[in-house]
Amino acid sequence: MRTQTASRSKTNPKDHVKKILVIGSVAFDLIFSVSDDFRKSIPLENGEISNFNASYLANEKKEFPGGTAGNIAFWLGQEESPATVFSAWGKDFALKGYRERLEKSGTKFRGHEGDYTATAYMISDPLHQQLIIWQANAYAKNDDLNLVDHINSDELADFDYAIFSAGTPASITKHIQEFRQANPDAIVIFDPGQISQFFTKEDFQTCCKHANILIGNDTEFKYFQGYGIPTDTAQDKQLIQIETLGADGVLLREENNEEQIKTNPVENPVETTGAGDAFRAGLIASLAKGQDLKTACLRGAELGAKVVTLESGQEAAP
The mean-pLDDT minimum among 91-100, 219-228, 263-272 falls in 263-272
- The β-bridge relationship of strands 257-261 and 240-244 is unpaired
Domain extent for 200: 20-27+65-118+138-308
Q: CA 173, 174, 175 angle in degrees (round to 5)?
A: 95
Q: Is residue 46 part of a domain?
A: no
Q: Could you give the CA distance from residue 45 to residue 48 in angstroms, rounded to a whole number?
A: 5
- Cα separation, 239 vs 317, in Å, equals 37
Domain annotation covers residue 3: no
Mean pLDDT computed over every residue of the chain:
89
Strands 118-124 and 44-45: unpaired
**Lowest-pLDDT choice from 50-64, 146-160, 189-203:** 50-64
Q: Report, as an integer, the average pLDDT of 138-167.
A: 95
* Residue 316 pLDDT > 70: no
The residues facing 261 across adjacent strands are 250
In the structure, what pLDDT confidence band is assigned to residue 13 with cuts at 50, 70 and 90? low
User: Are 284 and 167 within 8 A, CB to CB?
Assistant: no
- Has residue 127 been placed in a domain? no
Q: What is the CATH number of the domain that holds 230?
A: 3.40.1190.20
264 part of a folded domain? yes
Q: How many domains does the chain have?
A: 1
pLDDT in tens, 41-85: 888 888 888 888 888 889 888 899 999 999 999 999 999 999 999
Give the containing element (helix H, strand E) for 63. Answer: strand 62-66
Residue 175 lies in a domain: yes
In angstroms, the CA 271 to CA 233 distance is 35
Q: Is the pLDDT of residue 4 over 60?
A: no
